[in-house]
Structure 1
Amino acid sequence: MAELPHITVSEEDYNRLSTLLERVAGQSDVADGLEDELSRADMKPLADMPEGVVTMNSRVRFLNEDTGEEHEVALVYPHEVGDADHKVSILAPAGAAMLGLSIGSSIEWPMKGRKPIHLKVIGVTRNP
Structure 2
Amino acid sequence: MQNMPPIIITSLDLARLERLFSSKNYSQLPGIDALIDEIDRASVVEPTEVPPDVITMNSTIRFVDDTNGSEYQLTLVYPDEAGAQDTISVAAPVGSALLGLSVGQSIMWQVPGGRELNLRVLDVIRQPEAMGEYLR
TM-score, normalized by length of structure 2? 0.81
| Equivalent residues in 2 for 1:1-128, closer than 5 Å | 1-24=1-24, 26-82=27-83, 84-108=84-108, 115-124=115-124, 125-127=126-128, 128=133
Counterparts in 2 of 1:118 and 1:15: CA distance versus 1, 3 Å = same
Contact 1:34 1:96 in 2 (8 A): yes
- Residue 47 of structure 1: CA displacement? 0.8
Contact 2:62 2:73 in 1 (8 A): yes
Q: Secondary structure at the match of 1:101?
A: coil
- Residue 49 of structure 1: CA displacement? 0.3
- Residue 113 of structure 1: CA displacement? 5.5
Distance in 2 between the 1:39 and 1:64 partners?
Answer: 24
Moved more, 63-72 or 91-100: 63-72
Unaligned runs of 5+ in 2: none
The ranges of structure 1 where at least 4 consecutive aligned residues each deviate by more than 4 angstroms after the TM superposition are 109-114
Counterparts in 2 of 1:31 and 1:64: CA distance versus 1, 3 Å = closer
Counterparts in 2 of 1:109 and 1:32: CA distance versus 1, 3 Å = closer
1:16-68 CA-partner distances (Å, limit 9, x unpaired):
00000111475134111211211111111111101200000001111332444
Q: Which amino acid letter does the alignment assign opposite residue 4 of structure 1?
A: M
Contact 2:88 2:94 in 1 (8 A): yes
Distance in 2 between the 1:41 and 1:114 partners?
Answer: 24
Moved more, 24-33 or 84-93: 24-33
Distance in 1 between the 2:45 and 2:118 partners?
Answer: 28
Counterparts in 2 of 1:117 and 1:38: CA distance versus 1, 3 Å = closer
Q: Which amino acid letter does the alignment assign opposite residue 3 of structure 1?
A: N
Identity of aligned residues (%): 38
Aligned residues: 127
CA RMSD of aligned residues (A): 2.1
TM-score, normalized by length of structure 1? 0.85
Contact 2:20 2:27 in 1 (8 A): no
